[in-house]
Amino acid sequence: MKNTLSFFLFLPIVLLLTALSAEENLSVSYILVDFEQGSVIDRKDNAGFLEQPFPPGSLIKLFSTYAYLRDGGDSYKVLLCPETSIGSSIPPGCWYRPGHGYMDLIGAIANSCDTYFSKFFTLKRFTLLVNVLNQYQLITGSDFETLLALSSAQKRETWIGIGKHLRIRPVDLFFAIYSIVGNGSIYERSDSYLIFERKMKTGSNFVRVIREGMREGSLTGTTKTVQEIIGMKKVFCKTGTATYFFIEEDYRKTHGYFIGFCPYPEPQWGILVFLLNGDGKAAAKIGATILKDLLKQEENGY
Ligand SMILES: [Zn+2]
């Protein structure tokens, strides 16, 4: 009798979850922007995922870079990412088990190296990171307190983009990264227009390192596929694969991000792709295809 009751109670919930999974598999969200014109060229975000906070994955490494440099960190410092065995923890191991070898900060951004970023993590720098996120209005006041109260191990994970302790709206992350690599302007999106919000002061060394790291990523690193798909256009990009956290955590799935700017080094266009259920590589392929179409239209004078 008890079992029968449970069956009837749980049936509607199971059906609802099945429906959600099918929807999730199909969901691709993106926004394509012309920063020079201040306009949104194209946008698809049926479920509004771009406006909801999710773990940022490796995109956070751009802000960790910012915090490291603000602390006087040396971008030319060369560190080793050694081979690690499958099953060893990240950090101090890297997601890339064969190891990235020796590299400087630009190489670490290009390869999204967990080990490099983990090696220059300190609690002081984490506090700087939280302050940077706050300046760019990526977190709320209560997030600020929560992040500073994390354990050292959780802070280190957050610093390299692992876990669910930090969550940011993808669209905010996109505009904040544009602000760093672009002209310092932060925008808000309103329908098909961008509303200029304010200008951030960014040191030229931060801009150079982050731009060059993203550029190197498209030439030899994690976003090489983008350069291959669109040809020799001057793009610079970063991917992210994040701990899945939508309503609740699910270790079997990940979120995928792609953020790309074109041309390098002064971007006119930018794209953000967010996959609720996917990885950075899949998001990069979608982003590259959209950018390729845009550049073809531009060449043809549309
Ligand atoms: Zn590595």
pLDDT tens for residues 96-131? 999 999 999 999 999 999 999 999 999 999 999 999
Is residue 17 included in any domain, yes or no? no
Spacing, Cα 160 to ligand 1 middle (Å): 11
Spacing, Cα 119 to ligand 1 middle (Å): 11
Spacing, Cα 91 to ligand 1 middle (Å): 10
Spacing, Cα 55 to ligand 1 middle (Å): 20
Contact criterion met (CB below 8 Å) for 93 and 84 = yes
Count of domains for the chain: 1
Is residue 173 included in any domain, yes or no? yes
Q: Please, which residues have CB less than 5 A from ligand 1, an ion? A: 81, 94, 96, 100, 113, 115
Tokens of 138: 């990526």
Spacing, Cα 117 to ligand 1 middle (Å): 9
Contact criterion met (CB below 8 Å) for 75 and 107 = no
Is residue 20 included in any domain, yes or no? no
How far apart CA 35 and CA 194 sit, in angstroms, is 8
Spacing, Cα 172 to ligand 1 middle (Å): 27
Q: Is the model's pLDDT at 173 over the cut of 90?
A: yes
Is residue 1 included in any domain, yes or no? no
Residue 12 is predicted with a pLDDT of 35
Is residue 116 included in any domain, yes or no? yes
- Range of 2-16, 143-157, 195-209 with top mean pLDDT: 143-157
How far apart CA 258 and CA 286 sit, in angstroms, is 9
Is residue 68 included in any domain, yes or no? yes
**225 CB-near residues (< 8 Å, 6+ apart):** 281, 284, 285, 288
Spacing, Cα 82 to ligand 1 middle (Å): 7
Spacing, Cα 281 to ligand 1 middle (Å): 17
Spacing, Cα 258 to ligand 1 middle (Å): 19
- For position 276, which CATH number holds? 3.40.710.10
Tokens of 42: 């194209």
Spacing, Cα 84 to ligand 1 middle (Å): 9
Is residue 19 included in any domain, yes or no? no
Spacing, Cα 112 to ligand 1 middle (Å): 7
Spacing, Cα 79 to ligand 1 middle (Å): 10
25 or 87: which leads in pLDDT = 87
Residue 18 is predicted with a pLDDT of 38
How far apart CA 197 and CA 214 sit, in angstroms, is 25
Against a cut of 0.75, is the pTM above it?
A: yes
Q: Which residue segment(s) compose the domain that 96 sits in?
A: 26-299
Spacing, Cα 283 to ligand 1 middle (Å): 21
